[in-house]
Amino acid sequence: MSLRVGVIGTGMIGRDHIRRMRTVQAGVSVVAVADVDGELAARVAAGIGAVAHPDGRELIASPGVDAVVVCSWGGTHEEYVLAAIAAGKPVFCEKPLATSQQACLRIMAAEAGHGSRLVQVGYMRRYDAAYRALKQVLDSGVIGAPLMMHCAHRNAGVPDFYQPDNIITDTAVHEIDLVRWMFGSEIVRVRVLRPRASRNAGELPDPLLLVLELANEVLVDVELSVNVRYGYDIRGEILGEDGTVSLGDPGLVAVRRAGQVGGPVPADWRDRFGAAYDVELRDWAASAAGSGPPDGPGAWDGYAAAVVSEAAVRALRTGEPVTVTLVDRPKLYD
């Protein structure tokens, strides 16, 4: 009766999803794990009474596994997602869907071959209550048709491995998916502008201003700052013809002391989007357990994000506007 889930990749995000499925989600059992670090997988498995598989493909093939969560290194996503499709099992894949647009096309082809959607990609902002409220206001029509959006995506800091491209592929990719969903329109052109770099940024070109043009002519600008030190700060305001809607201030309390009134800024993405991850995974598990194909972001969205990210990386490197060209969207994703 319960959905038996196998988790590939037991690093930080994988263990967090396991915790989530074992505490705030009903009807799900984590029965199997796998990780390139076999000892880690064994330890995690022991802690939750699950089976540790020597590799992800065996986990996917296991008859005791109904559905798969892929949290391994991005370079391995294609292989595991294709294996899950081949096995006819629902698969939740953390972003990115794959590391090239060609890989994404192969996944879409496999899914088309299967004949129905099996893949969901981990763009959790679509499940955030504030973004949903933003979209609800927009869709209600009270602010008129959308014209522009301003976003800011600020991280206190980033891991040591960050290279310039990661500011696009790991950070901006959330806004890339978000605006496609928010406005129901594809991104057709991207620009990246470089202000002076922060002394907190080391060698990184940080901050950046990413400008996205959509097919419906909505124009989006995104401030990307990954070393702001002060916290994790996500902003968004949509300009419509007759009004605007913006993300509220998420402060739970206001403190007045020592001449100041204020409150804490979220420390990191867990703090800000923890509840969105909960809803995301719950929603996916419900679809995987039989309520039908996932209605979250799918392979097409993963593909579009990959193409736009590649264009933005080129725009960052060249300083020039770059046009985005997508294949025709397969019927499966209508």
Contacting a copy of itself within 128-167 (CB under 8 A): 129-130, 133-134, 137, 142-145, 147-148, 150, 152
Q: Taking CB under 8 A as the rule, does residue 290 contact a copy of itself? A: no
| Shortest Å distance, C-beta 124 to Mg ion | 5
Window 173-212: residues binding a copy of itself (CB under 8 A): 193-200, 207, 209, 211
Residues contacting residue 137 through CB under 8 Å, at least 6 positions apart? 143, 245
Q: Taking CB under 8 A as the rule, does residue 254 contact a copy of itself? A: yes
H or E segment to which residue 131 belongs: helix 129-140
| Shortest Å distance, C-beta 308 to Mg ion | 16
Nearer to Mg ion, 107 or 124 (CB): 124
Choose one: 67-75, 82-90, 222-230, 296-304; the region binding a copy of itself (CB under 8 A): 222-230
Q: Are 191 and 321 in contact (CB under 8 A)?
A: yes
Q: Taking CB under 8 A as the rule, does residue 3 contact a copy of itself? A: no
Residue 252: count other Cβ atoms within 10 Å of its Cβ.
6
Task: Kindly tell me which residue out of 25, 169, 287, 309 binds a copy of itself, with binding defined by CB under 8 A.
Answer: 25
Task: Kindly tell me which residue out of 12, 46, 267, 327 binds a copy of itself, with binding defined by CB under 8 A.
Answer: 267
Q: What is the C-alpha separation between 186 and 180, in angstroms, rounded?
A: 6
Choose one: 6-14, 50-58, 219-227, 323-331; the region binding a copy of itself (CB under 8 A): 219-227
Q: Are 192 and 209 in contact (CB under 8 A)?
A: yes
Q: Tell me the number of residues near a copy of itself by CB under 8 A.
A: 75
DSSP state of 290: I
String of b and e for 137-175 (b: at least 16 CB within 10 Å)? bbeeeebeebeebbbbbbbbebeeebebebbbbbbbbbb
Task: Kindly tell me which residue out of 63, 160, 230, 334 binds a copy of itself, with binding defined by CB under 8 A.
Answer: 230
Window 54-83: residues binding a copy of itself (CB under 8 A): none
DSSP state of 197: P
